[in-house]
Amino acid sequence: MQQDHENDLPAYKRIQNVILKRMESGGLRAGDAIDSERQLAKVHQVSLMTARHALAGLEREGVVVRRRGAGTFVAPPKIHFNKLMSFTEQMAVRNLPARSKILSCTVTEEESEVAARLALPPGSRLIRLERLREGAGEPFALETCYLSEAEFPRLRHAPLERGSLFSILESEYGLELAQSDEEIDATNADARTAQLLAIGKGQPLLRIRQVIYSAKGRATVYVRGFYRSDRHNLLIRRFR
């Protein structure tokens, strides 16, 4: 049945699937060269235009990069922000191993602005969780999450380094996350952030401040994150 489905696909889609399966199996890694349009056309017995269409589609999706005079190469893995997903989920969708390195997990009473964003009184005790997010062995982001200690008293002792924060909130506390409001701007990496993200000091970063709401409409998690701009795409659909 699977073979029949493949045969029903347009030729350019079949070429794309072959390339994607090689990437998923580890046969192609970031930076590896992809067959040229002429090679693909010959191997798959299609026109040069069809092979070009296949590569152009993968390029639009950020899967490959085309360098004039050099060829087409597997792009570094990137994260897309258009759906509310945990980092672990985002990486799993792309068949990439994810890792979170906990830099600190403390309780603070000195984040009045964050408390206000979570609709809590000033001076509220907040869990402050700072993590370095890594995908495929590379640093992707530096994130600091804030949650109410009163609401999530056992969270500091959860296996946060091995599991998804979203999954822990759902399984341990029965919390259903629904949506987020986000403020996004650009900033430059300070010395510490640059070192953690393996980039140069002053390099551009995406800064995202995010309030995540439960299905009941309660502000539950506040995230302040710095994201490598070469590893993240922000895709926006606009309506008129």
* Low-confidence stretches of the chain (pLDDT beneath 70): 1-7, 77-97, 231-240
Gap between the Cα atoms of 167 and 149, Å rounded = 18
Q: Is residue 239 part of a domain?
A: no
State how beta strands 177-188 and 98-108 pair.
Answer: unpaired
Q: How far apart are CA 199 and CA 126, in angstroms?
A: 30
Q: What is the CATH number of the domain that holds 69?
A: 1.10.10.10
pLDDT given at position 93: 58
pLDDT at position 135 is 76
Quote the pTM value: 0.64
State residue 126's pLDDT score.
Answer: 97
Tell me how far apart the alpha carbons of residues 214 and 184 are, in angstroms, rounded to a whole number. 21
By C-alpha distance, which of 143, 141, 162, 165 is closest to 152?
Answer: 165
Domain that holds residue 7: 2-74
pLDDT of residue 234: 61
The last residue of one of the domains, among 25, 55, 74, is 74
Burial 67-97 (b: 16+ CB within 10 A, else e): eeeeebbbbbbbbebeeebbbbebbeebebe
Flag whether 240 is in a domain.
no
- Kindly state whether residues 187 and 212 are assigned to the same domain: yes
The pLDDT of residue 7: 64
Please list the residues that pair with 219 across neighbouring strands: 213
Instruction: Give the chain's domain count.
Output: 2
Task: Tell which of 55, 74, 93 closes a domain.
Answer: 74
**Looking at residue 202, which CATH number applies to its domain?**
3.40.1410.10
Q: What is the pLDDT of residue 2?
A: 47
Q: Of 52, 76, 82, 53, which is closest to residue 64 (Cα–Cα)?
A: 76
